[in-house]
Structure 1
Amino acid sequence: MLPSRVQAYIGATVIDATGAPPRPDQTVVVVDRTIVTVGPAAQVPVPDDAVVHDVGGKYVIPGLADMHVHSESETDDPRHFASLYLANGVTSVREMWGRPRLHEIRRMVESGEILGPRMTIASPLLDGSPALWSDVPDVPVVTVADAVQARRAVAEAADGGADFIKVYSRLSPDAYRTVLTEAHRQNITVAGHRSDHLPFAEQIESGQRSFEHMFGSIWSTAAPDVERLESAMAAIRTSPEFHLGSWLREVAKVEWEAIDAYDRTAAGSVFERLVRADVACTPTLVVHAAVDEPESIRLDDERMTYMVPGTPDAWDFLARHIYCGGGRTAQESARHRELLHWRRATVAAMSEAGVRLLAGTDSVGPGLFPGFSLHAELEQLVLAGLSPMQALQSATVEPARFLGRDHWAGTVEPGRVADLVVLDADPLIDIRNTRQIHAVVTDGRHIGPAERARLLATAGRIAARSR
């Protein structure tokens, strides 16, 4: 048997993400992959065989989780995105579009062949017909048009090792209900978009565990004329040139009508339903910032060095033809800026009502960078009105709870896995300080400043040699 690895982190302020006040001058002792002691440095003895990390004046938080990613790299090297996640303190990801390659990468991470985050992997995307991604080449979508296809799709996803079923926006009522019924029968979780074709209130009660993004979901239900607005969602038709782009444009029209009729009492009732059903929401405000304000996407961002060379052109195309549907009038641009304001305000109201929020980014869409953009999402959540602690919890304890890991992950406490981020500045003073990373610990593995720099350099080299 190999001897235990013992590490001691001495002198830092611990922000354990439970909601408790920060505790200065603490010692955190890690044995192998588990936190065994957290306490005042003056009272906690350091084991004789410990590797000591002097982190005086720094801040220790739990490892971060990005609960909505798409790690389809243009490279064949799985270290590309894995390195970017870990270098940014992201020790856990929820992959929202399952592919066989992701399962291979997970096996490589779990075997220690490569360094990477803990992965939860979706099924292939299940959508109705026409699927919103059906006109994009080489994108795997499972079209589910009826109950027979729904049962088959769930069974195949479960057999393929999916951790949960990912549902999308265009599923018919029959297909959606059958997916939920079959998934429940097979004891597999369902998460994803709301369906345009069923009332959102029904979907909250359906057993779907999380709803992703904020396209049309809350506002169409939070108005006195809810039936008219839900009917407008169901009546959306997409065009074959770019189904997703035309869908975004049509949804925005319904959203604009909905906020004009928004009723706080009705919204509060929706939030109460979400809380009672223990349903989580992943707002992905960074995506909405890009869709509603595409001019904010910088194609000369210095982080492009970590992306493949064709990324700026791809992002420019997606922003113009998908996000903007080929162009926006001045009035449409003004409306989208107002929609972004409403999205943030709605997230704050959901948080105040007790709705569980999960931090997610939807990377690698335009303007989004694996690992880096989670910190932008935390900033968006605080900008919306959450406290820095609430934003931090949306990327730590809440994901752990959602994934059934809260008894062993998500906080800095004895008995929890040693997924940690050591920061140079206090994130509760300014949430942007989560970017000030000194070191990362993943599953007990210490990644100091030099190794973290090597991870970023590796990602840059892999991207640069990709064609």
Structure 2
Amino acid sequence: MKNKPEFRLVGPLLILVLIGCQNRQQPRWDLALEGGQILDLDSGVYSQGNIYIKDGIIDSISSERLPADRVIDATGKFILPGFWDNHVHFRGGDSLIQENKDYLRWFLINGITSVRDAGGDLGLEVIGWRDSINSGLLDGPTIYTAGPKLDGPNATWAGSLVVDSDPSVSKALDSLQSLKVDFVKLYDSRISREAYLWSLQEAENRGYISSGHMPFTVNLDEAVAAGQDAIEHLYYVLKGCSAEEDQITEQVQLGELGFWGSMDQLMATYSEDQMKMTARMLIDNNTVVVPTLYIGQTLSYLDETDHSQDAWLKLVSPKMQATYQGRIDRSLNSSEEAREERKQLDKVFRQLTARLNEEGVTLLSGSDSGAYNSYVYPGTSLHGELRAMVDVGLEPIAALRTSASNGARFMRVNDQVGSIQEGMVADLVILTADPLEDISNSRKLDKVIKVGQVFDPAQMAKEIGCESCLD
């Protein structure tokens, strides 16, 4: 009788094949986004594909359709990294803790998956929220916080840490280290020239990222040389673009000129050659600029714009709205000349932003939203900033880079988040229209994905009683 070993193998082989097929059909991924146009922020190019997410991480990007526990059909839609707001504030004291916490959902509703908190008086609360979000116990954007600001004696903002000598700088930074802040923020209301430069140098020595408002007793190149990594707002860059910066600095040091009193002189002595040298200095030192154009325009036109029908305003508590009144009163009670000067400064800042971008300076989009900043609502104002960037001349792709891409690089986490690649955190937005065609389409949110968790912005807006907020 002939041996037929091949028949003896059929049974085991068939079983193995069936097991293999069965294993291939078992969902390996928690979430699949299928058929969407995936934007590479670096190249500005879309590619169609499927994104597979496991444990909050982008595990695979493939043209093949694979099984997942949940599938979202993104056909005809546009997938981008989640937005970053690179300048926000959580503040206002103990009576506004809940209002600030509520803003965490406002950011998610608007597709913002990361925020940079540029200092406030709710340090412990914010750090608690940050850690709870990172642990998956609280819904909200990833928070990178500076904790309390550094400033001089009798600082403008409550909760600031006083620095006026070498020992006090070390003590303040020890305190920030114990809080485990993500970067150091300096403010210029009372800080001396010496304390400012000491603080920057010591923060640099400790490996901290630093950002701030530069006192006008300091030249811009001095601050950058001391280690300042980000210039918040454009006043300080404008000073560095003046042909008479040295003279203006000396006048401020002598008490002959103040911050606001120097603005006319700075605008009058703006030098294109000096601007180019300043831009090159910023680039060479990897120093970024946060223009905050949207709030500048909003505050410059408080005397002309009626905000009473703003969709988001009806959600702002009376206590939070009360913090708006100071800026409103100062605007309405100022002279016609002062109001026109503020509007002229706003125009100069818009032109300066365009020139900085043309020269290749890295820009970060930040709203400056939070208590005291009238009608600059958390979440939606970031989209206003992106619109403002495009209005001054940036291409939509360049404006989008100022959010997630540049934000992640600045915080030194771009190997983890801020782009759509395998191995990156799954912080994503799905848009129903192309933001490269019209930057206003950044508001047309279908889904927000935060570390793989799916949020429906329309449903969330409905839950807080503001169905019209996303219109």
| TM norm structure 1 | 0.87
Which amino acid in structure 1 is aligned with residue 244 of structure 2? D
The partner residue of 1:141 within 140, 157, 160 is 160
Answer yes or no: is 1:208 the counterpart of 2:208: no
Counterpart Cα distance in 2 of 1:426 and 1:459: 22
Counterpart Cα distance in 1 of 2:320 and 2:178: 34
SS of corresponding position for 1:417: coil
After superposing the two structures, state which structure 1 stretch, 446-455 or 361-370, moved more: 446-455
* Percent identical residues: 26
The partner residue of 1:128 within 135, 152, 169 is 152
Answer yes or no: is 1:256 the counterpart of 2:256: no
Aligned to 1:299: 308
What is the deviation of 1:233?
4.2
Answer yes or no: is 1:171 the counterpart of 2:191: yes
What is the deviation of 1:452?
3.2
Query: Structure 1 residues 56, 307: CA separation in 2 closer, same or farther (over 3 Å shift)?
Result: same
Which amino acid in structure 2 is aligned with residue 288 of structure 1? G
**1:213-252 superposed matches below 5 A:** 213-215=233-235, 217-234=236-253, 250-252=258-260
Answer yes or no: is 1:316 the counterpart of 2:325: yes
SS of corresponding position for 1:13: strand
> Does the Cα contact within 8 Å between 2:311 and 2:466 map onto a contact in 1?
no
> Does the Cα contact within 8 Å between 2:57 and 2:424 map onto a contact in 1?
yes
Query: Structure 1 residues 110, 455: CA separation in 2 closer, same or farther (over 3 Å shift)?
Result: farther
Answer yes or no: is 1:155 the counterpart of 2:164: no
The partner residue of 1:416 within 410, 424, 442 is 424
Which amino acid in structure 2 is aligned with residue 166 of structure 1? K
What is the deviation of 1:78?
6.5
> Does the Cα contact within 8 Å between 1:294 and 1:319 map onto a contact in 2?
yes
Answer yes or no: is 1:361 the counterpart of 2:367: yes
> Does the Cα contact within 8 Å between 2:231 and 2:237 map onto a contact in 1?
no
Counterpart Cα distance in 2 of 1:341 and 1:34: 43
Which amino acid in structure 1 is aligned with residue 98 of structure 2? D
What is the deviation of 1:424?
1.2
> Does the Cα contact within 8 Å between 2:29 and 2:67 map onto a contact in 1?
no
Aligned to 2:105: 83
The partner residue of 1:446 within 449, 454, 465 is 454
Deviation string, structure 1 residues 145-165 (Cα, Å, up to 9, x no partner):
222211211111112222222
Aligned to 1:65: 84
Counterpart Cα distance in 2 of 1:392 and 1:459: 26
Aligned to 1:196: 216
Structure 1 gaps of 5+ residues are 134-138, 239-249, 461-467
Which amino acid in structure 1 is aligned with residue 150 of structure 2? L
Query: Structure 1 residues 291, 233: CA separation in 2 closer, same or farther (over 3 Å shift)?
Result: farther
Aligned to 1:348: 354
> Does the Cα contact within 8 Å between 1:292 and 1:336 map onto a contact in 2?
yes
Deviation string, structure 1 residues 130-155 (Cα, Å, up to 9, x no partner):
4233xxxxx21222222221121111
Counterpart Cα distance in 1 of 2:392 and 2:412: 27
RMSD over aligned CA atoms reads: 2.4
What is the deviation of 1:4?
5.7
Counterpart Cα distance in 2 of 1:125 and 1:75: 18
Counterpart Cα distance in 2 of 1:193 and 1:356: 17
SS of corresponding position for 1:194: coil
> Does the Cα contact within 8 Å between 2:458 and 2:467 map onto a contact in 1?
no
Aligned to 2:434: 426
**1:363-442 superposed matches below 5 A:** 363-364=369-370, 365-442=373-450
Counterpart Cα distance in 2 of 1:45 and 1:14: 15
Counterpart Cα distance in 2 of 1:273 and 1:112: 41
Counterpart Cα distance in 1 of 2:160 and 2:144: 19
What is the deviation of 1:371?
0.8
Query: Structure 1 residues 115, 5: CA separation in 2 closer, same or farther (over 3 Å shift)?
Result: farther
Counterpart Cα distance in 2 of 1:457 and 1:298: 19
Counterpart Cα distance in 2 of 1:412 and 1:97: 29
> Does the Cα contact within 8 Å between 1:35 and 1:414 map onto a contact in 2?
yes
Deviation string, structure 1 residues 66-94 (Cα, Å, up to 9, x no partner):
11111237243765111111111110011
Deviation string, structure 1 residues 103-154 (Cα, Å, up to 9, x no partner):
1111221222221111111031111234233xxxxx2122222222112111
> Does the Cα contact within 8 Å between 2:386 and 2:400 map onto a contact in 1?
yes
Counterpart Cα distance in 1 of 2:320 and 2:280: 41
> Does the Cα contact within 8 Å between 1:147 and 1:174 map onto a contact in 2?
no
Query: Structure 1 residues 223, 453: CA separation in 2 closer, same or farther (over 3 Å shift)?
Result: closer
> Does the Cα contact within 8 Å between 1:83 and 1:459 map onto a contact in 2?
no
Answer yes or no: is 1:21 the counterpart of 2:45: yes
Query: Structure 1 residues 318, 57: CA separation in 2 closer, same or farther (over 3 Å shift)?
Result: same
Deviation string, structure 1 residues 388-445 (Cα, Å, up to 9, x no partner):
1111000011011111111121112222211111111111111111111111000111
> Does the Cα contact within 8 Å between 1:142 and 1:153 map onto a contact in 2?
yes
Structure 2 gaps of 5+ residues are 1-26
Counterpart Cα distance in 1 of 2:52 and 2:170: 48
Aligned residues: 433
Query: Structure 1 residues 77, 268: CA separation in 2 closer, same or farther (over 3 Å shift)?
Result: closer
> Does the Cα contact within 8 Å between 2:166 and 2:198 map onto a contact in 1?
yes
Counterpart Cα distance in 2 of 1:449 and 1:89: 8
Query: Structure 1 residues 449, 67: CA separation in 2 closer, same or farther (over 3 Å shift)?
Result: closer
Counterpart Cα distance in 1 of 2:149 and 2:430: 36
Query: Structure 1 residues 339, 413: CA separation in 2 closer, same or farther (over 3 Å shift)?
Result: same
Aligned to 2:54: 31
Answer yes or no: is 1:109 the counterpart of 2:165: no
Query: Structure 1 residues 286, 450: CA separation in 2 closer, same or farther (over 3 Å shift)?
Result: closer
SS of corresponding position for 1:366: coil
Query: Structure 1 residues 300, 262: CA separation in 2 closer, same or farther (over 3 Å shift)?
Result: same
> Does the Cα contact within 8 Å between 2:426 and 2:450 map onto a contact in 1?
yes
What is the deviation of 1:31?
2.1
SS of corresponding position for 1:104: helix
Aligned to 1:136: none
> Does the Cα contact within 8 Å between 2:29 and 2:52 map onto a contact in 1?
no
